[in-house]
Amino acid sequence: MSKLLDELRTAVGAANVLADGDLSAWELDWRKRYRGRALAVVRPATTAEVAAVVTACAAQGTGIVPQGGNTGLVGGSVPDASGTQVLLSLTRMNRVRQVDEANFTMTVDAGCVLQALQETAASHGLLFPLSLAAEGSCTIGGNLAANAGGTQVLRYGNARELCLGLEVVTAAGEVWDGLAGLRKDNTGYDLRDLFIGSEGTLGIITGATLKLYPQPAAKMTALAALPTLDAAVQLLQRAQRRLGAGLTGFEVMGRFALDLVRTHFPQLAQPLPPAPWTVLLEQSDAESEAHARGLFESLLESALEDGVIDDAALAESLEQSKAMWHLRESIPLAQAEEGLNIKHDISLPVSRIPAFVAATDAALLAAFPGARLVNFGHLGDGNLHYNLQAPAGVAAADFLREHEAAVNRLVYDAVSAHAGSISAEHGIGQLKREELVHRKSPAAMSMMRAIKAALDPANLMNPGRLL
Ligand code: FAD
């Protein structure tokens, strides 16, 4: 192994190969559920350096775990406990290579932090719409490897739909340059789409060409209080019909989810009193503030008159709008403060969500009396974060050890019964690898295994994740 470490030092410089000391920033995942041990943390700065690292590791049969911001929620970005895998951190690759205003694209290194890319686009008067609560530390390479969703999928799509091309270092150490930025290219299999969502199991993403959009002329944000989840689905339909592509956000928050924010972040003002359900709506308008306000107010007034919503608060300034988003984005953090929990990132046809939640809530409470259900998510995309916290007063670690498998089975059986997916946007990683085999058809699994065997025959790219 010391031969490999020497080769890695030659490839990226000795200062960028960390083999001793406290490596927990790379070895422990964001949820603190997976702690591994790396042979070394290797920090290349260029695509050529990544290719040299992959070539050296491949020659020794050493597995590579790519990592961006290490904010993934399924244990995909940390090494296993064997001490034999190389942790390849992409964060030194943080260059914006080109902004092409006429093509509405930017080409960037994989290690660029998402928020920095939003700011780069804004500095050109343009919008890069991918947005999620981890945007201050997650990287675009990680977003693409996990096919991240976030809060504007309803209008702009997920990471896959925002990417026109990739640069990838393959498992053989070759560089594939697919960065041309074409909106049309029907020249065979779509290699870009293979790597997006592959969670580092097929190759290392080193660069990407991303789609940009015009900045909206105005944005309106509101919170609405609703009596039922069925009413939230009705409000979504109304908003889609009235606002069309102008509806850029539609987030739902259950009462207990916002109660956790009240408890752990009392400094965050909640403009509406507690309600069974609260929805955050956002409209982006290409015309003007007056146009946006007219449409938005009439949508909310008619929903109030018809009893679809009970109350609403409209943000009157950018600060108020940010504060509303901050509330929504604080839910995962409040959950983490409350203690270990069981997360389900699921998607369902929107029309089936109220029935799914009613039936599954009842079944969970019957099987696990006192369990606290934290339900929130991107209702506009049919994506719920349908999570469960141990009963009050019960040690969370004990509850998870005894009941996590049974809770998951109950929830995922219900998801399957309602034609949903067990992973909407967080991926599979280590967390859902066993579950995937039960939920995907044998035909789908054998095609995925064949792709993996063709592109990574020695199983060195993020081994033990996803498949
Ligand atoms: P990492 O965590 O480092 O890695 C994620 C996966 O990608 C791993 O399997 C890793 O091996 C692989 N990978 C990383 N970089 C590369 C690369 N360059 N090439 C190949 N493989 C690579 N996700 C959503 O979709 N929507 C949300 O709304 C959302 N909200 C979140 C909120 C919080 C508070 C947190 C902590 C996470 C949230 N996430 C959300 C999870 C989300 O998947 C990640 O935040 C983000 O997409 C991962 O980026 P990262 O750079 O941190 O990747």
Structure tokens at 248: 């850029």
pLDDT of residue 296: 93
196 phi/psi in degrees, rounded to 5: -70, 125
The CATH classification number of 339-426 equals 3.30.70.2740
Structural domain spans, the chain: 2-89, 96-214, 218-332, 339-426
- Output the CA 110–ligand 1 centroid distance in Å: 12
Say whether 36 sits in a helix, a strand or coil. coil
Q: What is the pLDDT of residue 2?
A: 83
Q: What is the atom index within ligand 1 of the atom nearest the CA of 67?
A: 3
Which among 143, 166, 148 is positioned nearest to 158, based on CA atoms? 148
Round to whole Å and give the CA distance between 382 and 213: 24
- Residue pair 371/360 in contact by the 8 Å Cβ criterion: no
pTM of the shown model = 0.94
Is residue 331 left, alpha or beta, with left meaning phi > 0 and alpha meaning psi from -120 to 50? alpha
Q: Which of 77, 175, 251 is the pocket-test mutation for ligand 1 (most atoms within 8 Å of CB)? A: 77
Question: Nearest-CA neighbor of 380 among 223, 251, 275?
Answer: 251
Ligand 1 binding pocket mutation candidate from 30, 71, 90, 108 (most atoms within 8 A of CB): 71
- pLDDT at res. 429: 97
- Pick the closest to residue 466 from 203, 197, 193 (CA basis): 197
Q: Which residues contact 21 (CB under 8 A, 6 or more apart)?
A: none
* 201 touches 452 (CB < 8 A): yes
Q: What is the largest CA-CA distance in the chain?
A: 73
Strand partners, 429: none
Distances (CA, A) of 231 to 306, 312, 379, 382: 11, 14, 12, 15
Beta strands in 319-418 (DSSP E): 341-342, 345-347, 372-378, 383-389
SS3 224: strand
Q: Which atom of ligand 1 is nearest to the CA of 73?
A: 41
pLDDT of residue 344: 96
Nearest residue (by CA) to ligand 1, atom 15, is: 142
Q: What whole-number distance in Å separates Cα of residue 123 and Cα of residue 424?
A: 32
Residue of 231, 31, 206 whose CA lies nearest to 110: 206
Pocket test residue of 29, 49, 64, 132 for ligand 1, highest count of atoms within 8 A of CB = 132
Tokens 């083999």, residue located: 19
Distance CA 88, CA 77 (A): 10
Give residue-wise pLDDT tens across range 276-318.
999 999 999 999 999 999 999 999 999 999 999 999 999 999 9
Distance 465 CA to ligand 1 centre (A): 14
Distance (angstroms) between ligand 1 centre and the Cα of 236 equals 28
List, for residues 174-212, the tens digit of each pLDDT value. Answer: 999 999 999 999 999 999 999 999 999 999 999 999 999
**Distance of alpha carbon 239 from alpha carbon 298, whole angstroms:** 10
pLDDT value of residue 261: 97
Distance from Cα 345 to the centre of ligand 1, integer Å: 14
Residue with the nearest Cα to atom 49 of ligand 1? 142
How many Å lie between the centroid of ligand 1 and the Cα of residue 375? 21
Cα atoms found within 13 Å of the Cα of residue 7, Cβ hemisphere only: 17
Identify whether the C-beta of residue 169 lies closer than 8 Å to the C-beta of residue 139: no
What CATH class has 96-214?
alpha beta
CATH 3.40.640.10 given to domain 218-332 = no
**Distance in angstroms (rounded) separating the CA atoms of residues 314 and 280:** 10
CATH code, 2-89: 3.30.43.10
- The answer to whether 133 touches 335, Cβ cutoff 8 Å, is no
The burial of 146, by beta-carbon neighbours within 10 Å (0-12 exposed, 13-18 middle, 19 or more buried), is given as: buried
Tokens 């977003």 -> residue: 143
Spatial contact of 178 and 165, defined as CB atoms under 8 Å apart:
yes
Atom of ligand 1 nearest to the CA of 425: 25
Residue whose CA is closest, atom 44 of ligand 1?
72
218-332 and 339-426, same CATH topology? yes
The strand pairing partners of 176, in sequence order, are 168
Residues with CB under 6 A from ligand 1: 30, 65-73, 76-77, 90, 110, 132-134, 138-139, 141-143, 145-146, 148-150, 199-200, 204-205, 332, 425-426, 429, 462, 465
Ligand 1 centroid–CA 395 distance in Å is 29
What is the 344 CA–ligand 1 centroid distance (Å)? 16
* Paired residues of 178 in beta bridges: 166
C-alpha closest to that of 168 among 138, 127, 135, 201: 201
CB neighbour list of residue 45: distance below 8 Å, 6 or more residues apart: 12, 16, 92, 93
Mean pLDDT by 10 residues, the chain (467 residues): 92 96 95 94 98 98 98 96 97 98 98 98 98 95 96 94 98 97 94 97 98 96 97 98 95 97 96 97 94 94 97 95 95 93 96 97 97 96 96 95 96 95 95 93 97 98 96
Alpha carbon distance, N-terminus to C-terminus of the chain? 27
Gap from CA of 142 to ligand 1 centroid (Å):
5
Residue 30 CA, closest ligand 1 atom number:
36
CB contact burial 254-270 (16+ within 10 A = b; e otherwise)? bebbbbbbeebbeeeeb
Question: Which ligand 1 atom lies nearest to the CA of residue 200?
Answer: 21
348-361 core/surface letters (b: 16 or more CB in 10 A; e: else): bebeebbebbeebb
Residue 31 has what pLDDT? 86
Q: How far is CA 211 from the centre of its chain?
A: 18
For a mutational test of ligand 1's pocket, the pick from 31, 67, 253, i.e. the residue with the most ligand atoms closer than 8 A to its C-beta, is 67
User: In angstroms, what is the span from residue 133 Cα to ligand 1's centroid?
Assistant: 11
DSSP bridge pairs for 98: 107
Q: How many CB atoms lie within 10 A of CB 307?
A: 10
